[in-house]
């Protein structure tokens, strides 16, 4: 990864796993010890620490993504950050524990508080909303609270707040049961609430990054993927009003936390090229989904042998990676070259 210019890796983790680690409980890890014999005998937390050690060696930074409450392969389908025995308070405590444990290790650069809060307020009982309340399902309040508790322990971290799925149109509230009263977007992609109810981190406001997700028609055929859609129509129909206004109005930095998909030679690939160019032209931070090949919605940068790169997909991604004028990839560490000195650079310029 680092030899190919990837300088940060977004790692999904469940709240359940963090709470198990916090309590000294370790489920048997599912790892390929034939390919990784150095992991034999390690528990899951030891493997995670080993991963961080290797990442540090190659100048790779880590973004921890609170992907789901439960540690299962479908946990991300659940719309909110609390579930069953995982209460909002335990959700906050899991982040505090992780922050305190790695406070002195700047390999972990950022915390993505919750992956893709979602839910349709007009038709579903359980949904994430964004308003000025302290309701249990108010994602704005939860992200703000978790971020403040993280930054009280380590004020140098970045905290990422994703969007939700639906936001009421002017004159309506989340109490409406009429679908037409809402603006809809991808899970985690609707940050319209920032206009009315921005995250407030007080003295640590500079640590805030808003993080929408955006996908193409191979994931779901959204109404903005009509015949002939372009980068310009995507900007006008979905990107500007859902999240890019945050960049245009200099409210806070943006990091597109998930984008990617299959190289289908058609509409999905056209969307990927459009967003890649939009990211590059506007110098937007991003993490591509994903490295591993077993994502059914998108595939990965690696092919099914988990070793060979999908060179066509990497060629599409590469222009959006940070490079210096000397052609080297840019490290986020500023001390450790990315990959090695022949590949990475430690220039001290700020890319924003």
Strand extents, DSSP E, 176-244 = 182-184, 208-210
For 289-301, write each residue's pLDDT tens digit: 999 999 999 999 9
Please check whether residue 351 lies inside any domain of the structure. no
Residue 247 three-state SS = helix
Total of domains in the chain: 1
What tokens were used for 214?
A: 């955006």
Percent of the chain beyond pLDDT 90? 91
- pLDDT at residue 350 is higher than 60: no
pTM over 0.85: yes
pLDDT at position 349 is 56
- Upper half-sphere CA count for residue 352 (Cβ side, 13 Å): 10
By residue range, what is the domain housing residue 34?
2-345
Mean pLDDT of the 50-61 span: 96
Burial of 248 (C-beta count, 10 Å sphere; 0-12/13-18/19+) = exposed
Residue 17 belongs to some domain of the structure: yes
CA–CA distances in Å: residue 121 to residues 158, 162, 176, 183: 30, 17, 8, 11
What is the CATH number for 246? 3.20.20.80
- Please confirm, yes or no, whether 3 is among the known catalytic residues: no
Alpha-carbon distances, residue 104 vs 3, 101, 118, 168 (angstroms): 26, 8, 33, 42
Catalytic annotation, pick one of 116, 144, 162, 165: 116
Q: Which range has the worst mean pLDDT, 242-246, 267-271, 321-325?
A: 321-325
Point out the catalytic residue in the list 3, 258, 281, 311: 258
Query: Is 352 a domain residue?
Result: no
Q: Phi and psi dihedrals of 105, rounded to 5?
A: -120, 105
Q: Is 294 exposed, middle or buried (0-12, 13-18, 19+ CB in 10 A)?
A: exposed
Give the tens place of pLDDT for each residue, 328-339: 999 998 889 999
């Amino acid at each position: 990864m680092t030899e190919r210019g990837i300088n940060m890796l977004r790692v999904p983790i469940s709240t359940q796993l963090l709470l198990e680690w916090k309590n000294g409980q370790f489920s048997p890890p599912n790892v390929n010890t034939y390919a990784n014999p150095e992991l034999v005998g390690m528990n899951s937390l030891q493997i995670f620490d080993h991963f961080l050690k290797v990442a540090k060696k190659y100048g790779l930074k880590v973004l921890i993504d609170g992907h789901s409450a439960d540690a299962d392969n479908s946990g991300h389908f659940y719309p909110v950050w609390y579930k069953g025995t995982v209460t909002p308070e335990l959700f906050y405590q899991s982040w505090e524990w992780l922050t305190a444990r790695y406070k002195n290790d700047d390999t972990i650069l950022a915390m993505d508080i919750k992956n893709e809060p979602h839910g349709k307020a007009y038709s579903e009982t359980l949904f994430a909303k964004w308003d000025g309340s302290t309701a249990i399902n108010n994602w704005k309040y939860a992200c703000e609270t978790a971020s403040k508790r993280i930054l009280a322990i380590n004020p140098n971290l970045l905290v990422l707040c994703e969007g939700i799925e639906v936001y009421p149109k002017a004159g309506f509230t989340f109490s409406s049961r009429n679908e037409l009263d809402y603006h809809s977007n991808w899970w985690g992609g609707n940050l319209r609430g920032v206009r009315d109810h921005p995250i407030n981190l007080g003295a640590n406001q500079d640590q805030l990054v808003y993080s929408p997700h955006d996908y193409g028609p191979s994931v779901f055929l959204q109404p903005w993927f009509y015949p002939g859609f372009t980068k310009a129509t995507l900007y006008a129909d979905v990107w500007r009003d859902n999240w890019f206004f945050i960049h245009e109005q200099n409210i806070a930095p943006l990091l597109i936390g998930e984008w990617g998909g299959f190289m289908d030679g058609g509409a999905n690939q056209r969307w990927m090229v459009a967003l890649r160019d939009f990211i590059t032209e506007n110098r937007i931070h991003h993490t591509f989904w994903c490295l591993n090949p077993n994502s059914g919605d998108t595939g990965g940068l690696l092919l099914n042998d988990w070793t060979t790169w999908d060179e066509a997909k990497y060629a599409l991604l590469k222009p959006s990676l940070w490079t210096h004028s000397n052609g080297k990839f840019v490290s986020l560490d500023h001390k450790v070259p990315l990959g090695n000195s022949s590949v990475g650079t430690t220039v001290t310029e700020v890319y924003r």
